[in-house]
């Protein structure tokens, strides 16, 4: 089942890094290296670095927070749900969502590390209640727990309770120190998301303790993304998703360029860029970026995200269809369809593209078969976009 939309975005984005007020320099340095490794898709090295950080300072809540964050990211990677497009749909229900069980070792490690991070942060708050960084650290840890509960366990209400407390702690940190970047990142994310909810849901969010304000939320996240700090990368990653939701595609691409420069080993940033360019109707630029990314992919011996090959071929096929390179589009889309571990909603969208390709070639019967397949798969996968597009083109042929 696909967890997406406003609720899932609230559950899936929060700060990952951040300095711990009491950490020693060795632990801080190892944590920074750990996050750099994680953003470079070098998860094994990141795991080792976070373990070293914990050994260097067993009382560094930030080290446990980092280890927990890595477990969360690895689960999402293993599920093939780390890309922006996984969080751009619509959640049809506000109730808990059935989700596949995460790998037992990662799940156990996540809960052990996040529980320790929260306990240490709560202890710091008790000792230094008027210290902004203590509340900021607690808000960050609670936010990560909320993200995991929602995006991995499908516990929407449980995640909301954690998120509400994360927001409260982060807001208190900002009251104590308006320049607390980590707290601004967390509070800004929740403020933006609350502002996008339907009015009735937004009122309930206000009642239970969330604050809203799209402009203020974006300002806080953009501030965190602009200033060098341990949360800068996290803020940029959040902006890529938010700018895509706001249809500010050029701004999203600019942020992705910055991430690509910082993490040249992360091929998924190129896939994100190509996908974003497609949403902005820049097919030629998208095709070039995707070609470069697929050339890099062919040389990359590291593990693939499940369904990753299919995503690359799907996006390049869609770009080539828009460019009128029909034979190449056909090859890519069929390769995407045949790729291993392709998620249901992606399969539905591939069939939509194959239907459009058949329509452009004048084979209406073949196009209708593809659209019907897209509708059937889209209904099962709960992908409104694929179902809507297929229904539209089933009734009236697609034209470029």
Spell out the domain ranges in the chain.
5-262, 292-395
Q: Considering only 148-157, 195-204, 338-347, which range has the smallest mean pLDDT? A: 195-204
- Using CA atoms in the order 278, 283, 287, 293, what is the torsion angle rounded to 10 degrees? -30
pLDDT of residue 155: 84
Rounded Cα gap, residues 115 and 377, in angstroms? 39
**Tokens of residue 316, six digits:** 């390049």
Share of the chain above pLDDT 70, in %: 89
Does 69 score more than 70 pLDDT? Answer: yes
- The whole-number average pLDDT for the span 48-67 is 96
- The whole-number average pLDDT for the span 54-83 is 95
Among the CATH numbers 3.20.20.70, 1.25.40.10, 1.10.3470.10, 3.40.50.620, which is that of 292-395?
A: 1.25.40.10
Does 9 score more than 50 pLDDT? Answer: no
Rounded Cα gap, residues 2 and 313, in angstroms? 21
**Tokens of residue 124, six digits:** 């710091």
**pLDDT category, 196, cuts 50, 70, 90?**
confident
Rounded Cα gap, residues 46 and 81, in angstroms? 19
Indicate the average pLDDT of the chain.
90
pLDDT of residue 18: 56
Helices (H), 128-155: 132-151
- Which has more confidence, 205 or 120? 120
Share of the chain above pLDDT 90, in %: 77
- Dmax (CA) of the chain: 72
Rounded Cα gap, residues 191 and 171, in angstroms? 10
Rounded Cα gap, residues 246 and 228, in angstroms? 25
Half-sphere exposure of residue 193: CA atoms within 13 angstroms, side-chain side: 28
What is the model's pTM?
0.91
- Which has more confidence, 202 or 224? 224
pLDDT of residue 1: 37
């Amino acid at each position: 089942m696909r967890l997406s939309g406003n609720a899932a975005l609230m559950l899936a984005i929060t700060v990952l890094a951040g300095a711990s007020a009491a950490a020693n320099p060795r632990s801080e340095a190892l944590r920074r290296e750990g996050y750099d490794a994680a953003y470079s898709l070098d998860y094994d090295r990141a795991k080792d670095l976070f373990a070293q950080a914990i050994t260097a300072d067993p009382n560094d809540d930030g080290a446990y927070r980092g280890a927990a964050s890595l477990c969360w990211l690895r689960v999402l990677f293993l599920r093939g749900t780390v890309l922006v497009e996984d969080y751009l749909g619509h959640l049809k229900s506000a109730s808990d969502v059935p989700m596949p069980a995460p790998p037992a070792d990662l799940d156990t490690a996540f809960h052990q590390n996040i529980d320790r991070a929260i306990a240490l942060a709560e202890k710091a708050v008790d000792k230094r209640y008027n210290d902004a960084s203590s509340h900021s650290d607690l808000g960050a840890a609670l936010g990560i727990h909320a993200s995991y509960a929602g995006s991995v366990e499908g516990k929407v209400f449980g995640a909301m309770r954690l998120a509400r407390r994360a927001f409260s702690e982060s807001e208190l940190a900002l009251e104590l120190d308006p320049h607390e970047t980590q707290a601004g990142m967390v509070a800004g994310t929740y403020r933006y998301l609350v502002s996008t909810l339907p009015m009735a849901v937004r009122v309930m969010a206000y009642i239970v303790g969330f604050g809203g304000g799209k402009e203020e939320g974006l300002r806080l996240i953009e501030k965190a993304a602009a200033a060098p700090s341990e949360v800068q990368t996290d803020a940029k990653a959040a902006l890529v998703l938010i700018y895509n939701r706001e249809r500010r595609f050029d701004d999203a691409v600019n942020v992705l360029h910055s991430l690509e420069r910082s993490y040249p080993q992360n091929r998924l940033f190129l896939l994100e860029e190509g996908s974003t360019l497609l949403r902005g109707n820049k097919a030629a630029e998208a095709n070039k970026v995707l070609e470069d990314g697929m050339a890099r992919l062919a040389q990359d011996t590291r593990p693939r995200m499940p369904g990753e090959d299919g995503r690359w071929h799907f996006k390049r096929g869609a770009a080539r269809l828009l460019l009128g390179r029909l034979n190449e589009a056909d090859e890519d889309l069929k390769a995407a369809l045949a790729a291993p571990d392709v998620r249901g909603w992606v399969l539905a969208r591939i069939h939509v593209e194959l239907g459009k390709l058949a329509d452009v070639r004048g084979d209406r019967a073949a196009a209708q078969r593809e659209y019907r397949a897209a509708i059937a798969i889209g209904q099962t996968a709960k992908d409104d976009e694929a179902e809507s597009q297929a229904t539209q083109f089933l009734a009236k042929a697609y034209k470029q």
